[in-house]
Amino acid sequence: MIRLAGAVPDPSTYPSERMRKVIHDVLRREGADALAYGPPAGYASLREVIATRTTQSGAPVRPDDVLIVAGSQQGLDLIGRLMIGEGDSVLVEAPTYSNALQIWRLYGARVVGVPMDEDGLSPTQFGAALRRVRAKFVYVMPTFQNPTGLSMDEPRRREIMRIAREAEVGVIEDHFDADLRYSGVPVPPLRAYDTAGQVILLGTFSKMLFPGLRVGWIIAPREVRERLLEMKLACDLATSLPAQMALAEFCVRGELDRHLEKVRKLHAGRLRAMLDAIDTYFPENISTTRPQGGMTLWCTLPDGGDALEILEMAEERGLSIAPGVWFFPDGDGRRHFRLSFVGEGEDRIRKGIEILGSVIRTHLARRRAPRRREGETAPFL
């Protein structure tokens, strides 16, 4: 199976040998102390590393602002528990990350999608949605959005924050893959433009490194952080200490930056290979985003196209894609699908896109052909 569906880095890129050495060294240095419960808010050195990296990205943060969690998925869950009451409304980009949608719903939220344009969440649509809906918060991915790969430029970020400030609405900023930039200039997170303490920023090692250690973080204003910490305690007491120690050491040794340098080059090549193959093999009436980073891009079929049908046909030919309906809160999205460009090597990506191009052509030709009702025989021509 050529996997173009999942937004997870290729396991063959995981620096397992370097991590093995770091874990070994940490256990030798810390002994049994590494195997205790960690501090509930997280291991101090790791909080420091994360505060430094976030500050370098343009949003000044102190180690105390950082709460370590078991993956940003746990962060989303804690935020859902804390902030959503039965019947509350939550705004999300349409499309958005499907497992976040699930959490907001789990806690009883009415989820309202806000349309995006080619630069991410549309300020006009955001403002209009806030006038229509009294939302508890907006969940947004300003950098290399999942699923579209789109990013907001700096003026757009300022504008979104200005609107959020005026409406006094919370902003959940999912910064899951912001370190995976392959072109263009880095833009600070929304948190950098937050003057009223409205932003809760989520981060993770899962995309820039690997997901298996299950370590992520929340950066939030003090009051919110303290309440999230109470929930974190109730949930699992603390995030795995040896995992945090290993990650802190991995970062301090410069291994994370070395790894990032490597995967950025690799991913950039894979993205280029995918876009070139799309230009070669897809019909011209398919539009595609051209991300500057991240893991995924987003394709839109002409009217009448149905990505669920394409998925079915593609699977029969050994190819997986993610259909758009997974990512919309309201059952929309049939004309769209998401492709991941990080999970396979360049040759398999080219092969996959060639197959997909032919599947799409067959699908669109069938759609154009006049449909026959059940039981109806083909007319003699």
| Gyration radius of the chain's alpha carbons | 22
- Using the contact rule CB under 6 A, the part of the chain among 14-22, 107-115, 204-212, 362-370 near ligand PMP is 204-212
Angle between helices 16-30 and 241-252 (to 10 degrees): 110
User: Measured from the CB of residue 100, what is the shortest distance to ligand PMP in angstroms?
Assistant: 6
Minimum CB–partner distance for residue 289 and ligand PMP (Å): 16
Between 70 and 286, CB nearer to ligand PMP: 70
- CA atoms within 13 Å, Cβ hemisphere of 157: 22
Least distance CB 205 / ligand PMP (angstroms): 7
Site membership for ligand PMP, residue 240 (CB under 6 A): no
- Cα–Cα distance between 53 and 60 in angstroms, integer? 9
Q: Does 174 sit near ligand PMP (CB under 6 A)? A: yes
| 148: contact with ligand PMP by CB under 6 A | no
We find the least distance from the C-beta atom of residue 37 to ligand PMP, in angstroms, to be: 21
Give the residue, chosen from 122, 143, 146, 340, that forms a contact with ligand PMP under the rule CB under 6 A: 146
Q: Is residue 296 close enough to count as binding ligand PMP by CB under 6 A?
A: no
Q: Torsion angle of alpha carbons 281, 283, 286, 292, nearest 10°?
A: 30
Strands (E), the chain: 2-3, 66-69, 89-94, 110-117, 120-121, 135-140, 170-174, 199-204, 216-219, 287-288, 296-300, 319-320, 322-323, 336-340
Chain centre to alpha carbon of residue 126: 20
Q: DSSP for 257-292?
A: HHHHHHHHHHHHHHHHHHHHHHHHHS-TT-EE---S
Binding footprint of ligand PMP, residue count (CB under 6 A): 13
Helix, strand, coil abundance in the chain, percent, nearest 5: 45, 15, 35
Angle between helices 307-316 and 346-368 (to 10 degrees): 120
Closest CA to 11 of 179, 209, 269, 258: 209
Chosen residue from 38, 149, 216, 343 binding ligand PMP by CB under 6 A: 216
Note whether 97 binds ligand PMP by CB under 6 A: yes
Task: Decide whether 282 or 298 has the Cβ nearer to ligand PMP.
Answer: 298
The upper half-sphere exposure of residue 279, i.e. CA atoms within 13 Å in the direction of its Cβ, equals 6
Considering beta carbons, is residue 75 or 242 the nearer one to ligand PMP?
A: 75
Contacts with ligand PMP, 259-288, as mask; x by CB under 6 A: ------------------------------
Q: What is the number of other CB atoms lying within 10 angstroms of the CB of residue 32?
A: 7
Residue 92's nearest CA partner among 116, 72, 117, 111 is 111
Q: Which residue has the tokens 């549309």?
A: 122
> Least distance in Å: CB of 148 to ligand PMP?
11
* Span from 54-62, 129-137, 154-162, 203-211 in contact with ligand PMP (CB under 6 A): 203-211
Least distance to ligand PMP from the beta carbon of 156, Å?
19
CB of 206 to ligand PMP, least distance (A): 3
Q: Which of residues 52-71 bind ligand PMP (CB under 6 A)?
A: 71
Q: Which is nearer to ligand PMP, 5 or 359 (CB)?
A: 5
CB nearer to ligand PMP: give 96 or 282.
96
Q: Which residues bind ligand PMP (CB under 6 A)?
A: 7, 71-73, 97, 141, 146, 174, 176, 204, 206, 211, 216
